[in-house]
Amino acid sequence: MEALKLELTENTPKIVLDHTTHALEFEGDSRPEDVQKFFQPVMNWLNDYEGYVQSAGDVTLNANFKLEYFNSSSAKYIMDIILKLGKIAEPGNVTLNINWHYDEMDEDMLDAGEEFEDMLDVEFNFVEIPD
């Protein structure tokens, strides 16, 4: 298994998924032209990671969402990612930390994180970034 690294662009977030450190990073704006094409490698990696982590013993998985903006098409994939992370943590050997970072002036991003948490029944840590 290899880490997945997608570079930040004007329309897509920086994504780093590292199986060795069990750290996932999503940072920037997410409004890709072809949302399915952009997020498919992420979903494929998470599917592979699910099998990998089951044999890895006790693991703490840290997922950091530092998104500044995402469109409605991206929101569906963000929900799918969070649901997958919850599924990965279900067997009990994975402690899942979802850290939802938001700018203190951006109530919309905080609200989005709170909605995801409520809808998906996955606990978030909300991290305020001082302006």
**How high is the pLDDT of residue 33?**
94
Query: Residue 118 is part of which domain span?
Result: 61-131
Is residue 49 in a domain? no
Is residue 106 in a domain? yes
Is residue 53 in a domain? no
**How high is the pLDDT of residue 123?**
93
**How high is the pLDDT of residue 55?**
82
pLDDT tens track, the chain, 131 positions: 899 999 999 999 999 999 999 999 999 999 999 999 999 999 999 999 999 998 878 899 999 999 999 999 999 999 999 999 999 998 778 999 999 999 999 999 999 999 999 999 899 999 999 87
Is residue 120 in a domain? yes
**How high is the pLDDT of residue 91?**
75
Cα–Cα distances (Å) from 4 to 22, 85, 110, 116, in that order, read 12, 16, 27, 24
Is residue 127 in a domain? yes
Is residue 100 in a domain? yes
Total count of domains within the chain: 1
**How high is the pLDDT of residue 43?**
98
pTM for the full model? Answer: 0.94
